[in-house]
Chain A
Amino acid sequence: MPDSPTPGRTRPADSALNTGFGRVLLFVYGLGALSASSRGLVQVFTHFAEAPLAYVLSAFAGLVYLVATVGLAIGGERGRRIALVSCSIELVGVLVVGTLSIADAVAFPDDTVWSRYGSGYGYVPLLLPFVGLWWIWRHRPRDKA
């Protein structure tokens, strides 16, 4: 029995940031938050002096994913704004750090999640902000009038 959505069960588009596909995004962002921040913390606390810039960026990336996860979990207008800001920072981060890590390898002797556009993580860090922003854009507030 195919469970096609009946009109009565359709949720208003702007109230469902944290359901449906949003819940998948939440899971993936949570994963990103966990892997980036734990990587950053281990790097900062065990061999910080080797590559300070890269390690601070690792920890920062973890924070950005964490904030995005919280935004997606809260949902609603406030959660949407939080997610919008953090996903935008994430997009800029992965593009800037990705480019720098290729252009100026000396400054990045060790990897971060965003190095080489996240090639160490199957380029998921490069795709994720686009998918996230698309989802947030889809759930932009409509004119109520």
Chain B
Amino acid sequence: MNGPLSVATIVVALVLAAWFLLRAALNRAPGRAELIATAALGVLVAVLVVVAVIGLFGGSRPSETATFSGYLITTIAFAPVALYLARMEPTRWGNLILGVACLVLPVLVLRLEQIASVTTGA
């Protein structure tokens, strides 16, 4: 796993989470800026996942490769699914969906780091 990229993803997700939750609390629907920000986060996450997948074929594999792959798929699908649901919900709750997604994403990235750190002794 790429350390700096993970940290960047986590920080961006948490900053966005604070913003989305604030917007939800202010009873605002997600606007263009919010949707674009989520899409950008999705791109950042996709880069992180692609780097991790390349790592799977290069260096040492995590001992729980199946679990790791499952988490990778979940992680890359996360922002798009949240975006899709938030677009269907043009109310404050749309922002809450984005906020929840941005709170869960760091947990997923941390779990990925955790699983990746346990490698098979090759």
Contacts and interface: CB of A to CB of B under 8 A. Distances in A.
The finding on whether chains A and B are genuine partners in a shared complex, rather than unrelated, reads: yes
Interface residues of B, number: 20
Given A3-B29, A19-B89, A24 B70 contact: no
Given A3-B27, A27-B85, A20 B70 contact: no
Given A3-B27, A3-B28, A27 B101 contact: yes
Residue of A3, A24, A34, A42 contacting most chain B CB atoms (<10 Å) = A24
A26 B94 CA distance: 12
Nearest to B111: A35
A23 B67 contact: no
Given A2-B27, A19-B89, A27 B74 contact: no
Contact of B91 (A20, A30, A38): A20
B96 interface: yes
Contacts of B104: 31
B100 A38 contact: no
A34 B74 contact: yes
A43 to B, nearest CB: 10
Nearest to B82: A27
Contacts of B66: 42, 46
A137 interface: no
Contact of A42 (B67, B81, B85, B97): B67
Interface in B68-101: 70, 74, 81-82, 85, 88-89, 91, 93-94, 96-97, 100-101
Contacts of B70: 38, 42
27 contacts: A3-B27, A3-B29, A3-B91, A4-B27, A20-B93, A21-B93, A21-B96, A23-B85, A23-B93, A23-B97, A24-B93, A24-B97, A24-B100, A26-B85, A27-B81, A27-B82, A27-B85, A27-B100, A27-B101, A30-B81, A31-B104, A38-B70, A38-B74, A42-B66, A42-B67, A42-B70, A46-B66
